[in-house]
């Protein structure tokens, strides 16, 4: 129009660039969304979470450990899952640690914990590797042919990493549905002593390990009057070590966890099982009056904790200090840790420690140091 100023050419170019970037973002989002949807669909049918196979339920029966001396319920199973990469680097050490831990009481007292594990393999090759390890250990092997992201070492928030949650929750739900208490363990864990009495003596319906070395009272449920009176936020939970009591309310909460994962995958390609666990479980356990608690980080150690592990005195568990970070144990000379640090540990998990090859290195070091009563490097040095 006459008298109207023309837009500068640079402004038009900028607008075109913005439109191009929006188109690229939309394309990438759609691609990621389709990948997440495929992973989710492999574990769901139109009626909900896929039912367990006969092989899975048979493995549960074979692995179930009697807990009637500790609980009014009868049995508990250990569950884990693995692909070829984990079976190469971490699973052999995980199984070795289980095979050295004796059950402390009940009908199965004196037996080793490796016999109480159901290990789910994600491919035919992984199943063969799992069975090959049965020449040394007594675990149960079963394949989940429905899981589509079966190979590789998964980086944080990669497609394979994000798909793990759909599989994990399905196995937990199917274990609970069969009537067993469930302990789910990642395979980058070294067990040092029998953790079952700890799981079953806390009074919790659901227990999870801590993401950070923070001071908390492990006997406080987050919906309890004692905890609410503190006006503190619950700590971040790491789902590499989880306990579930086989009750109707707990099973319902796990199903809600699975369903939220499924629905969010459609609009959130980087849906994360650990993130949703915290959101869903705090809400669901409140509705069902369940006890959601954290595991004591002083005995359930993590590679994300500072230096040689998490520690604080019982006298520090006060209203003022709860929720504060603890500095933990300091390194010995050369960045090593020793028997004085792990004397009371039940297990150590290895997140924050690189990929499977690196995790296996430090897991092996801890086993060598623990049983050889000597100082070793058990973590990637962070300071």
Mean pLDDT of the chain: 86
Note the pLDDT tens digit of each residue in 219-278.
Answer: 888 888 888 888 888 888 999 999 999 999 999 999 998 888 777 766 665 655 777 788
Distances (CA, A) of 284 to 7, 208, 233, 246, 376: 56, 15, 17, 15, 43
352-380 mean pLDDT: 96
Distance (Å, rounded) from C-alpha 10 to C-alpha 146?
53
Cβ proximity of 210 and 216 under 8 Å: yes
- Closest alpha carbon to 163 in 48, 28, 42, 47: 42
Q: Which of the given ranges, 5-19, 22-36, 309-323, has the highest pLDDT on average? A: 309-323
* Number of alpha carbons in the 13 Å side-chain half-sphere of residue 81: 24
Per-residue pLDDT reduced to its tens digit, 50-109 = 889 999 999 999 999 999 999 999 999 999 999 999 999 999 999 999 999 999 999 999
Q: Is the pLDDT of residue 363 over 80?
A: yes
Give the DSSP letter string of 217-266: -TT--TTSHHHHHHT-PPPPEEEEEEEE--SHHHHHHHHHHHHHHHHHHT
| Residue range 140-153: mean pLDDT, rounded | 74
What pLDDT score was predicted for residue 35?
A: 61
Which pTM was predicted?
A: 0.86
**Rounded alpha-carbon distances, angstroms, from residue 381 to 263, 339, 354:** 39, 18, 12
Domains of the chain, residue spans? 30-304
- The answer to whether domain 30-304 has CATH 3.90.550.10 is yes
């Amino acid at each position: 129009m006459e008298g109207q100023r023309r837009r500068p050419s640079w402004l038009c170019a900028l607008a075109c660039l913005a439109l191009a970037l929006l188109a690229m973002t939309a394309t990438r989002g759609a691609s990621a969304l389709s990948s997440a949807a495929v992973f989710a669909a492999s574990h769901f049918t139109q009626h909900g979470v896929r039912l367990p196979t006969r092989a899975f339920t048979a493995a549960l029966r074979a692995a179930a450990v009697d807990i009637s001396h500790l609980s009014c319920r009868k049995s508990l199973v250990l569950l884990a899952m693995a692909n070829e990469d984990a079976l190469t680097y971490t699973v052999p050490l995980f199984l070795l640690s289980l095979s050295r831990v004796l059950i402390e009481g009940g009908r199965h007292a004196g037996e080793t914990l490796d016999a109480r594990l159901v290990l789910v393999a994600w491919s035919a090759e992984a199943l063969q590797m799992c069975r090959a390890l049965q020449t040394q250990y007594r675990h149960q092997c079963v394949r989940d042919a429905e899981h589509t992201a079966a190979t590789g070492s998964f980086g944080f928030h990669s497609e394979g990493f994000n798909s793990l949650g759909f599989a994990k929750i399905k196995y937990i739900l199917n274990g609970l549905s069969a009537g067993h208490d469930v302990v789910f363990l990642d395979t980058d864990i070294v067990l040092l002593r029998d953790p079952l009495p700890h799981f079953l003596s806390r009074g919790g319906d659901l227990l999870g390990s801590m993401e950070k070395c923070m001071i908390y009272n492990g006997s406080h449920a987050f919906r309890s009057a004692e905890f609410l009176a503190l006006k503190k936020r619950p700590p971040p939970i790491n789902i590499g070590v989880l306990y579930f009591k086989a009750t109707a309310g707990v099973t319902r909460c796990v199903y809600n966890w699975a369903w939220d994962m499924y629905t969010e995958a459609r609009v959130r390609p980087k849906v994360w099982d650990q993130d949703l666990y915290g959101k869903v479980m705090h809400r669901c356990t409140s509705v069902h009056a369940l006890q959601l608690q954290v595991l004591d980080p002083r005995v359930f150690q993590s590679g994300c904790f500072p230096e040689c592990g998490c520690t604080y005195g019982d006298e520090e568990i006060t209203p003022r200090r709860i929720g504060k970070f603890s500095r933990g144990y300091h390194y010995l000379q050369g960045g090593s840790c020793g028997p004085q640090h792990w004397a009371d540990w039940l297990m150590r998990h290895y997140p924050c420690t690189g990929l499977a090859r690196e995790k296996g290195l430090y897991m092996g070091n801890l086993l060598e140091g623990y049983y050889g009563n000597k100082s070793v490097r058990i973590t990637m040095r962070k300071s």
